Amino acid sequence: MKYKRKLSSKQIVIKTVAAGLLLNMLAFPAASAMAEAVNKPATTEAGTKAAATPAKTAAAKIPSVESLGLNVKSAVLIEPTTGEVLLSLNADQAMPPASMTKMMTEYLVTEAVNSGKISWDQKVIVQENASKQIGSRIFLAAGDEHTVKELYIAMAVGSANDATVALAELVAGSEQQFVTMMNETAKKMGMKTAHFINPTGLDRKDMPAKFRPEGEGETVMSAMDAAILAKYIVTDHPEFTDFTTIQSYKFRERDSKPMINYNWMLEANKNIPNFKAYAYPGLDGLKTGHTTNAGNCFTGTAVRDGMRLISVVMGADSEAHRFTETKKVLDFGFNNFEIKQVVAPKAVIEGTETVPVLKGKNKEVPVVTDAGVTFMVPKGTVSPQIKTTVVTNDPATLVAPIAGASKVGKVTYSYKIEGMNQTQEKTVNLITAEEAEKAGWFKLLLRAIGNFFGDLFKGIKNLF
């Protein structure tokens, strides 16, 4: 005779609940999805929420570019961290940039140093091509030896064409291989009009005949492209000021005079009689340029009250005017705009204060942004009109346990200065403000039972 084992009361409860859950799964296959839908926050298409802060602007009217009376062919002014274009005058027109071309050479040489490909103390043997350069130069002879740093200073301070070519040949093996690097880097940077035929900015006819590339065309670059290049320099290589602020430099002991920095606007020149009329507060770079075809050009950068601006003027009719017009451009920026933190770090987003959590002790976890946001705004702006777009992760992926500061979405802020075409935009992460602990098995069981009967009663109610 066989006897059936008597079940304990706990086993009976578990079996009964399990049977009920099985029935739930068979009879109502969409029950779990319905339960998730109850906890899922209301969203617009693709899980995105959009909201805008109320507009409350109390800023003075920004003067027009025309009111500045700029005596140049093209000009542009940008703020490098936001990328905001504050002033534009024929800024996208491709023009010969003259020695402003050397900014790309400076960028690539510094990249080579920082990557360990070359070093500042490395000796460079000058080749024939470099020794035959004309224009601004330090009269290098084939076979001369100088360090990378010495040649770089000669390029940055004295705009020396021979030193520039010597560095280009060191980095790439030949001048034209370096030119290929220049054009490839310009594309990566997003420069739309830039095309280089040499690392110096010399016209094709002024290059040594033996080393002149075949074909036609000249080096060209718009003011906007020059500003983009300068933005990469100041952002990727903040040590640029170690070279651009050198006022004078004696290349050789036997030289009768030191080379003088072509940049008259250096703040340090405020006590130099010949330059003090042009010295500009906070100005620490970047590169001048001049050829007959290009006229007088200058890419300048200055810092004031913690804000850096980059200006470019092209086609001025004299050395002095490229600096007086740059002053107008920079003054326009510093007098009318400021960097403002529009959102603090750890901000709570209205309408998305929490996100749902599956299998958690709590059904939701509070969320905040992981970083603050700054935008360029007109001076005096009290509360700029910011558009906020929130995208949260798929709720099915938000399963406890979830650690604190875990990324659960992203928030994109956008802002447009009235009267300007460009929209500033920045995206930050949406993170959990605390840990979302996993619920115990019994709590999950009770929650499943509650969801089952809730859905059951709701279904019955809908029948009537």
Catalytic residue numbers read: 99, 102, 159
The tokens describing 120, both together, are 């500042």
- Residues 323, 325, 326, 327, Cα dihedral to 10°: 90
Place of tokens 């025309």: 66
Give yes or no for a contact between 423 and 416, defined as CB atoms under 8 angstroms apart. yes
3-state secondary structure the chain: CCCCCCCCHHHHHHHHHHHHHHHHHHHCCCHHHHHHHHHCCCCEHHHEEEEECCCECCCCCCCCCHHHCCCCCEEEEECCCCCCEEEEECCCCCECCHHHHHHHHHHHHHHHHHCCCCCCCCEEECCHHHHCCCCCCCCCCCCCEEEHHHHHHHHHHHCCHHHHHHHHHHHHCCHHHHHHHHHHHHHHHCCCCCECCCCCCCCHHHCCHHHCCCCCCCCEECHHHHHHHHHHHHHHCHHHHHHHCCCEECCCCCCCCCEECCCCCCHHHHHCCCCCCCCCCCEEEEEEEEECCCEEEEEEEEEECCEEEEEEEEEECCHHHHHHHHHHHHHHHHHHEEEEEEECCCCCECCECEEECECECCCEEEEEECCCEEEEEECCCCECCCEEEEEECCHHHCECCECCCCEEEEEEEEEECCCCCCEEEEEEEEEECCCECECCHHHHHHHHHHHHHHHHHHHHHHHC
> CA 287, CA 292: separation in Å to the nearest integer?
17
Positive or negative, the CA dihedral 161, 164, 170, 173 is negative
